[in-house]
């Protein structure tokens, strides 16, 4: 038997298959990749695994139609067949070569008896794949590799944009940086990038959300993703990686110097860091998150950027556990959500989410919003956001909240097109959709203020 060391491509494919099987078993792709070990081939493993996960719901019915008992297969062999089918369908590798590599990968997975089956199934796919996919692609959900329930929900919410959203969800996302112009001007940084051979341009619409005309923030879109270690000034804190839609939170919060600001769901800390970087003077930021491990990432990121905040592992729904009783003038609620706006970055969402998750998430979002609002000073502003494309988690939550809270009302803030190109004004709030004119992830924002009267 040949070992994985003798065929590097097979070793990579086998590792990717393990990652895919782990995701199908219910773990996130980030966790599965982290558990798959380090090494120079991690980037290749990642590319194959994420590509297979992205197209899983199209590839699976094709492979399963060629198997007598798909459920009888070892999960890693099933995942290997899908990873090989992904290479045949979506890469430039010669399909014949993929068959050989997959057979070796079955051995590398210590399943030598599966090698013959892998060979037979992939050869049948090779012979008949055009007709097979033509038949399967008749259904939109399969053609775009999305779960049917999600296609239904998106079609109800955004009938005219459905095709664009589904297509954009399957594209590779751009790498966007948030520049800290206190450390480096946009012009200087573009020159730094050019000097490092990294092609990039400014997110030119970024100025729209600036309430005080402050030249902030400055999004920089790279033509091709690069490892962060290769970015000029990354370890010195000149830049952070953050999609342009997420860069709208801080300007909407609009914190002034000296304000007490709460980031109620703060980890891993992109928006907390931005709040600190973008305030025109020092603010007093309390950053809490229920997940102590994720909070460590926030602390690391603030240390890299040299930014001060009081960080606490706490549940926002239990304010007694962290609150000193002094109200906050600004609150950001970046609520835990389905992530259906960021599928292009996290294709595993298509496999991991269930339709029953959505009402559970919405109930929790409302509870978090209500608890956070309780800590807001009269006259203060709260920004609620999610990276969900589903109204149930967005305006559905905020509308219910506004009905119940007599001291809450929509705050005046840039909305719709005034916030970002193609952004949709909702009642209440603004929705950015993946595939929209701004080229961002899908995001929802609502700005709420607490009146000084009413109970
Ligand atoms: C969308 S993420 C926040 C991302 C973060 N704002 C950023 O920009 O990096 C939502 C976060 O809410 C946290 N969370 C969930 N339920 C919570 C609760 N009841 N109290 C506080 N944090 C909570 C999760 O652990 C998760 O880190």
Q: For the chain, how many helices (H) and strands (E)?
A: 17, 13
Alpha-carbon dihedral angle through residues 443, 304, 34, 249, given to the nearest 10 degrees: -10
Please give the pLDDT value at position 284. 98
Residue 409 to residue 402: CA distance in whole angstroms:
6
Is residue 387 part of the annotated active site? The answer reads yes
Q: Of 274, 290, 304, which is best to mutate to test ligand 1, by the most ligand atoms within 8 angstroms of its C-beta?
A: 290
For residue 277, the surrounding DSSP H or E stretch is helix 270-278
State the pLDDT at residue 455: 54
Whether the CB of 290 sits within 6 Å of ligand 1:
yes
Residues 187-246 have pLDDT tens digits of: 999 999 999 999 999 998 876 666 554 445 569 999 999 999 999 999 999 999 999 999
Record the tokens describing residue 163, joined without a space.
Answer: 């095709």
End-to-end CA distance of the chain: 75
- CA separation, residue 393 to residues 152, 330, 449 (Å): 16, 22, 20
CB within 8 A of 336, min separation 6: which ones?
Answer: 265, 361, 364, 365, 368
| Beta carbon of 249 within 6 Å of any ligand 1 atom | no
Tens digit of each residue's pLDDT (9 = 90 or more) over 412-421: 999 999 999 9
pLDDT for residue 4 is more than 50:
no
pLDDT confidence of residue 211: 57
How would you classify the pairing of strands 284-289 and 260-263?
parallel
Q: Which residues pair with 287 in a beta bridge?
A: 263, 311
With residues binned 3-state (H G I as helix, E B as strand, rest as coil), the percentages for the chain, rounded to 5, are 50, 15, 40
Kindly give the distance from the C-alpha atom of residue 109 to the centroid of ligand 1, in angstroms, as a whole number: 37
pLDDT average, residue stretch 47-51: 97
Binding site membership of 341 for ligand 1 (Cβ less than 6 Å): no
| Ligand 1 mutation target, pool 28, 262, 265, most atoms within 8 A of CB | 265
**DSSP tag of 174:** P
Helix (H, G, I), strand (E, B) or coil at 448: strand
Determine contact, residues 356/311, Cβ cutoff 8 Å. no
Q: Is 429 strand, coil or helix?
A: coil
Residue 200: strand, helix, or coil = strand
Q: Which two tokens stand for residue 296?
A: 């460590």
333, β-bridge pairs: 384
* Cβ neighbour number for residue 127 with a 10 Å cutoff: 10
User: How many Cβ atoms from other residues are within 10 Å of residue 171's Cβ?
Assistant: 11
For 126-142, write each residue's pLDDT tens digit: 999 999 999 999 999 99
Give the pTM.
0.95
Catalytic residue among 265, 311, 337, 387: 387
Is residue 102 within 8 Å of 122, Cβ to Cβ?
Answer: yes
315 lines ligand 1 (CB under 6 A): yes
In the numeric block, the tokens 């005046």 are attached to 412
- Range in 4-13, 79-88, 114-123, 426-435 with the lowest mean pLDDT: 4-13
- Ligand 1: residue whose CA is nearest its atom 18: 315
Q: Within 13 Å and on the Cβ side, how many CA atoms surround 42?
A: 11
């Amino acid at each position: 038997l040949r070992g994985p060391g003798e065929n590097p491509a097979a070793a990579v494919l086998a590792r990717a298959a393990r990652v895919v099987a782990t995701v199908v078993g219910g773990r996130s792709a980030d966790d599965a990749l982290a558990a798959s070990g380090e090494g120079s081939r991690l980037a290749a493993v990642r590319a194959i695994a994420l590509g297979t996960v992205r197209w899983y719901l199209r590839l699976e019915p094709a492979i399963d139609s060629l198997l007598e008992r798909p459920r009888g297969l070892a999960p890693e062999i099933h995942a290997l067949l899908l990873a090989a089918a992904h290479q045949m369908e979506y890469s430039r590798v010669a399909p014949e070569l993929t068959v050989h590599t997959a057979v070796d990968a079955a051995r590398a997975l210590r399943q030598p008896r599966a090698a013959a089956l892998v060979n037979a199934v992939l050869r049948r796919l090779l012979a008949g794949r055009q007709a097979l996919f033509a038949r399967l692609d008749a259904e939109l959900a399969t053609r775009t590799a999305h779960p049917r329930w999600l296609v239904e929900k998106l079609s109800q919410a955004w009938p005219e944009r459905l095709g664009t959203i589904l297509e954009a969800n399957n594209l590779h996302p751009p790498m966007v940086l948030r520049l800290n112009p206190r450390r480096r001007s946009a012009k200087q940084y573009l020159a730094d990038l050019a000097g490092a051979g990294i092609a990039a341009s400014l997110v030119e619409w970024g100025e729209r959300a600036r309430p005080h005309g402050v030249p902030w923030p400055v999004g920089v879109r790279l033509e091709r993703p690069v490892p962060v270690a290769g970015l000029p000034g990354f370890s010195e804190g000149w830049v952070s990686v953050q999609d342009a839609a997420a860069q709208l939170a801080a300007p909407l919060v609009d914190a002034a110097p000296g304000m007490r600001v709460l980031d109620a769901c703060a980890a891993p800390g992109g928006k907390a860091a931005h709040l600190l970087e973008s305030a025109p003077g020092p603010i007093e930021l309390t950053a809490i998150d229920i997940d102590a491990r994720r909070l460590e990432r926030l602390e690391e990121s603030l240390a890299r950027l040299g930014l001060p905040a009081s960080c606490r592992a706490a549940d926002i729904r239990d304010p007694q556990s962290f609150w000193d009783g002094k109200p906050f003038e600004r609150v950001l609620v970046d609520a835990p959500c389905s992530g259906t706006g960021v599928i292009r970055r996290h294709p595993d969402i298509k496999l991991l989410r269930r339709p029953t998750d959505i009402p559970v998430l919405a109930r929790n979002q409302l509870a978090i919003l209500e608890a956070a609002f309780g800590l807001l000073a009269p006259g203060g502003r709260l920004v609620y956001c999610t990276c969900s494309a589903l109204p149930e988690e967005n305006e559905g939550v905020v509308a219910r909240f506004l009905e119940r809270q007599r001291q809450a009302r929509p705050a005046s803030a840039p909305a719709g097109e005034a916030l970002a190109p193609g952004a949709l004004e909702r009642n209440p709030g603004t929705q950015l959709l993946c595939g929209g004119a701004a080229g961002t992830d899908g995001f929802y924002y609502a700005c709420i203020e607490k009146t000084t009267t009413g109970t």
